């Protein structure tokens, strides 16, 4: 980041993901951290916030403070537990104390990661003004922070490239497991389960795939984003599987095509 790009005495303020309930039920979709937030802080916990101080070059993580009552059905960490778990982060503070933190730090500018995903057309999440507006800072919600982060994520360092290789290795092994187990009479969704089992059983690097598995036999293989995965596999048909695995939000995407019965012909 260039020194003259960001205003003096400024901080970047970021919001992590929250649980998303399945309609009106008390069950939530699988937890998956917001991509920019995970890239910066490496934290998968829900309802967190983060600040990067461009003056001191330090990161502060704000974590939710949960009542001991929550220990009945979920893991609850105290502040020391968070510090031990995320020991590479410079400072960890409870969300309840975030307003006080901003009032003490008194930044002159608060930059938020506001931008639009060019593929989906959706806008990134930004933190609420209530946490910092009392400190008198000016808000910068232009695309500056988003452009800087997007460029940074595009250019991979050696460690990131190694993670991508790892994700690709896991994905290829899982595709091989699918081809070893496929046979006529199965449903397409069974091939999806073969893939996910191999990834999670051997590596357990996340319960959420980077995208929905595409397992199409016969005519279904010609549909670009086929998600039904419910047809029966017939002898003589071609099978297409487009599946991937992710390691720390670095995704692999591999597509294979093969005959359902495992026998290739000259045609």
Looking at residue 4, its pLDDT comes to: 58
Looking at residue 143, its pLDDT comes to: 92
Q: pLDDT tens, 209-255? A: 999 999 999 999 999 999 999 999 999 999 999 999 999 999 999 99
Nearest CA-CA partner of 260 in 166, 160, 196, 179: 179
What is the number of other CB atoms lying within 10 angstroms of the CB of residue 57?
A: 8
Instruction: Tell me the CATH architecture of domain 158-259.
Output: Alpha-Beta Complex (3.90)
List of residues 6+ apart from 73 with CB closer than 8 A: none
Looking at residue 6, its pLDDT comes to: 86
Third-level CATH fold of 10-154: Creatine Amidinohydrolase; Chain A, domain 1 (3.40.350)
CA distances from 112 to 1, 15, 153, 158 (A): 15, 9, 17, 28
Q: Is 216 exposed, middle or buried (0-12, 13-18, 19+ CB in 10 A)?
A: buried
Looking at residue 98, its pLDDT comes to: 97
Residue whose pair of structure tokens reads 């990067």 in the numeric block: 52
pTM of the model: 0.91
Per-domain boundaries in the chain:
10-154, 158-259
Query: Residue 17's beta-bridge partner residues?
Result: none
Three-state DSSP at 58 gives strand
Regions of the chain where pLDDT drops below 70: 1-4
Looking at residue 75, its pLDDT comes to: 85
d(CA 155, CA 121): 22
Looking at residue 39, its pLDDT comes to: 97
Residue whose pair of structure tokens reads 């970047």 in the numeric block: 12
Looking at residue 5, its pLDDT comes to: 77
Topology match between the domains 10-154 and 158-259: no
């Amino acid at each position: 980041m260039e020194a003259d790009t960001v205003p003096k005495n400024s901080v970047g303020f970021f919001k992590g993901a929250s649980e998303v309930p399945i309609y009106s039920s008390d069950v939530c979709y699988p937890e998956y951290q917001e991509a920019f937030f995970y890239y910066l802080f490496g934290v998968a916990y829900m309802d967190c916030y983060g600040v990067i101080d461009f003056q001191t070059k330090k990161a502060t993580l704000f974590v939710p403070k949960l009542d001991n009552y929550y220990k009945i059905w979920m893991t609850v960490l105290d502040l020391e537990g968070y510090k031990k778990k995320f020991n590479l982060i410079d400072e960890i503070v409870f969300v309840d104390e975030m307003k006080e933190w901003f009032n003490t730090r008194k930044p002159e500018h608060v930059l938020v990661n506001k931008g639009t995903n060019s593929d989906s057309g959706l806008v990134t999440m930004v933190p609420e003004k209530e946490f910092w507006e009392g400190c008198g800072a000016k808000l910068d919600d232009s695309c500056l922070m988003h452009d800087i982060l997007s460029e940074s994520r595009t250019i991979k360092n050696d460690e990131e490239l190694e993670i991508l290789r790892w994700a690709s290795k896991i994905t290829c092994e899982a595709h091989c497991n699918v081809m070893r187990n496929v046979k006529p009479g199965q449903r397409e969704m069974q091939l999806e389960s073969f893939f996910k089992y191999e990834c999670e059983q051997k590596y357990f690097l996340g319960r959420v795939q980077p995208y929905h598995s595409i397992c199409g036999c016969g005519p279904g293989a010609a549909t670009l984003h086929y998600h039904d995965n419910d047809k029966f596999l017939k002898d003589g048909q071609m099978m297409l599987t487009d599946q991937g695995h992710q390691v720390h939000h670095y995704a692999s995407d591999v597509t294979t095509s093969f005959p359902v019965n495992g026998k290739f012909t000259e045609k």
